[in-house]
Amino acid sequence: MWTYVKKNSILILLLKFSLSIYAQDSLSLQKTAQQDSLIIRDDTLDYKKLIVPVSLISAGAIGFTIPAIKKFDYDVRREVNDHTLNNSKLDNYTLFVPAALVYGLNIAGVRGKHNLKDRTIILATSQAILLAIVIPSKSLIGRERPDQSNYMSFPSGHAAIAFSTAQFMFREYRDSNYWISLSGYPFAIFTSVYRIINNKHWVTDVLSGAGIGILSTEIAYWLYPKIKTLFKSKNEKTLSMISPYFQKSYQQKSFGLNYQLFF
Lowest mean pLDDT among 35-49, 52-66, 213-227, 247-261: 247-261
Q: Find the mean pLDDT for residues 155-176.
A: 96
Residue whose C-alpha is closest to residue 207's, from 59, 106, 42:
59
Count Cβ atoms below 10 Å from residue 9 Cβ, excluding itself.
Answer: 16
What is the pLDDT at residue 244? Answer: 52
What pLDDT was estimated at residue 58? 92
* Residue 57 confidence (pLDDT) above 80: yes
Q: Please indicate, yes or no, if residue 262 is contained in any of the structural domains.
A: no
Looking at residue 225, its pLDDT comes to 86
Tell me if 149 is assigned to some domain: yes
Q: What is the CATH number of the domain that holds 70?
A: 1.20.144
> Mean pLDDT over residues 221-240, rounded?
69
pLDDT band at 31 (very low <50, low <70, confident <90, very high): very low
Q: Is residue 247 part of a domain?
A: no
For residue 246, the cross-strand partners are 255
Asked if the structure places residue 258 within a domain, the reply is no
pLDDT at 231 exceeding the cut of 90? no
Asked if residue 92 is part of any domain, the answer here is yes
Report pLDDT digits (tens) over 78-133: 888 887 776 788 999 999 999 999 999 999 988 888 988 899 999 999 999 999 99
Domain coverage including residue 76? 47-231
Beta strand extents in the chain (DSSP E only): 239-248, 253-262
Q: Is residue 40 part of a domain?
A: no
Helix (H, G, I), strand (E, B) or coil at 242: strand
Residue 19, domain member (yes or no):
no
In a domain, 69, yes or no: yes
Domain count, the chain: 1
Find residue 262's DSSP bridge partners. Answer: 239
**Max CA distance (Å), the chain:** 75
